[in-house]
Amino acid sequence: MTDNLGPLRQAMADLSEHGGTTDMYERALRRSRQAQRRMAVTTGAAAAALVVAIGATVAVAANRRPDTPSPPAAAPTGDGSQGPGCPSTRTLGTLVELPPGWSFAPTEVECVETWAAADVRRPDGGSVVYLFHHTAATGWRYQDQGTEWDCADLGLTEPATFCAP
79 in any annotated domain:
yes
Distance of alpha carbon 57 from alpha carbon 65, whole angstroms: 12
Residues 121, 76 within the same domain: yes
Q: How far is CA 44 from CA 16, 27, 30, 38, 49, in A?
A: 44, 26, 21, 10, 9
Tens of pLDDT along the chain (165 residues) come to: 567 888 888 888 887 777 655 677 888 888 899 999 999 999 999 999 999 999 888 888 777 765 554 444 433 334 333 457 888 888 888 888 888 888 888 887 889 889 999 998 888 877 788 999 998 888 899 998 888 888 888 888 888 888 887
CA–centroid distance for 121 within its chain: 33
The total domain count for the chain is: 2
Residues 53, 83 within the same domain: no
Residues 132, 114 within the same domain: yes
> Helix or strand or coil: residue 50?
helix
Element (H, E) at 104: strand 103-104
Per the structure, the complete domain to which residue 138 belongs is given by 69-165
Among 64, 79, 106, where does a domain finish?
Answer: 64
Residues 125, 75 within the same domain: yes
- Residue 84: Cβ-neighbour burial (10 angstroms; 0-12, 13-18, 19+): buried
